[in-house]
A and B are shown apart, each in its own frame.
Chain A
Amino acid sequence: MNAGAENGAAMTHQPIPLAPPKRVRLKVEQASYAYSATDRSAPKFTLGPVSFEAQQRELVAILGPNASGKSTLLKLLAGLIKPLSGRVEVDGTEVSELDLRTRAQQIALVSQESELLFPLRVWEYVLQGRYPYGKRLRFESDEDCLLAGNALAQVGADALRDRWMEQLSGGEKQRVILARALAQQPSLLLLDEPTQHLDIGGKVELLRRLRRLADENRYTVVVVTHELNLAAEFSDRIALLHKGKCLRIGEPGEVYQQEVLEEVFEAPLEVEKRSSGRPRVILRGSH
Chain B
Amino acid sequence: MRPLTPRRILSICGLLATVLFVTVVISLRVGAYPISMRDIVITLFNGAIGRGDTSEFSQVIFGLRLPRIALGILVGAALSTSGAGFQALLRNPLADPYVLGVSSGAALGAMLSLIIAPHTVGAIQLAAFVGAAATIAAVYFLGRRGGQLDSATLLLAGIIAASFLSAIIIFLLTLVNGPGLRSMTFWLMGDLTAPAPTQNVLGWFGFLYFVFVVAAGAMYTTSSDLNLILTGEQEAGHLGVNVTRVKLVVYVAASVLTGLAVSVSGTIGYVGLLVPHVMRMLFGTDYRLLIPTSAIGGAIVIVLADTLGRTIVAPTELPVGAMTALAGAPVFIYLMRRRIR
Chain A positions near chain B (C-beta within 8 angstroms): 78, 80, 100-101, 103-105, 108-109, 111, 114-120, 123-125, 127-129, 131-132, 134, 136-140, 144-145, 148-149, 161, 166, 184
Residue from the list B91, B224, B240 in contact with A100, Cβ < 8 A: B240
6 closest A-B pairs by beta carbon, nearest first, are A104-B240, A101-B240, A140-B3, A118-B285, A132-B240, A100-B240
Contact A139 B238 (CB under 8 A): no
Residue from the list B4, B220, B230, B286 in contact with A117, Cβ < 8 A: B230
Fill in one digit per residue for B211-244: 1 if any A CB lies within 8 Å of its CB, else 0.
0000000001111110110111011011111100
Q: In the bound complex, how far is the Cα of B324 from the Cα of A276, in angstroms? A: 71
Residue from the list A80, A116, A139, A144 in contact with B237, Cβ < 8 A: A80
Q: In the bound complex, how far is the Cα of B88 from the Cα of A77, in angstroms? A: 29
12 A-B pairs within 8 Å (CB atoms) are namely A78-B238, A80-B238, A108-B238, A111-B238, A114-B231, A114-B235, A117-B88, A123-B1, A125-B231, A136-B221, A140-B4, A145-B1
Whether a CB of chain A sits under 8 angstroms from the CB of B93 is yes
What is the distance, in angstroms, from B327's C-beta to the closest C-beta of chain A? 21
Whether a CB of chain A sits under 8 angstroms from the CB of B36 is no
B-side binding surface: helix, strand, loop or mixed?
Answer: loop
A138 CB contacts on chain B under 8 angstroms: 224
Whether a CB of chain A sits under 8 angstroms from the CB of B288 is yes
Whether a CB of chain A sits under 8 angstroms from the CB of B310 is no
Known: A139-B4, A139-B6. A120 touches B228 (CB 8 A): no
Excluding A117-B231, A131-B241, A137-B221, 4 further A-B contacts by CB distance (< 8 Å) are A100-B237, A104-B240, A118-B280, A127-B3
Whether a CB of chain A sits under 8 angstroms from the CB of B5 is yes
Residue from the list A111, A119, A184 in contact with B285, Cβ < 8 A: A119
B235 CB contacts on chain A under 8 angstroms: 111, 114
A116 CB contacts on chain B under 8 angstroms: 230-231, 341
Q: In the bound complex, how far is the Cα of B340 from the Cα of A149, in angstroms? A: 29
Contact B240 A103 (CB under 8 A): yes
Interface size on B, residues (CB 8 A): 35
B230 to chain A: closest residue by CB: A117
What is the distance, in angstroms, from A182's C-beta to the closest C-beta of chain B? 13
A120 CB contacts on chain B under 8 angstroms: 231, 285
B238 CB contacts on chain A under 8 angstroms: 78, 80, 104, 108-109, 111
Q: In the bound complex, how far is the Cα of B5 from the Cα of A140, in angstroms? A: 8
A115 CB contacts on chain B under 8 angstroms: 231-232
B230 CB contacts on chain A under 8 angstroms: 116-118
B6 to chain A: closest residue by CB: A139
Contact A137 B231 (CB under 8 A): no
What is the distance, in angstroms, from A122's C-beta to the closest C-beta of chain B? 10
What is the distance, in angstroms, from A183's C-beta to the closest C-beta of chain B? 10
B5 CB contacts on chain A under 8 angstroms: 139
Q: In the bound complex, how far is the Cα of B62 from the Cα of A223, in angstroms? A: 68
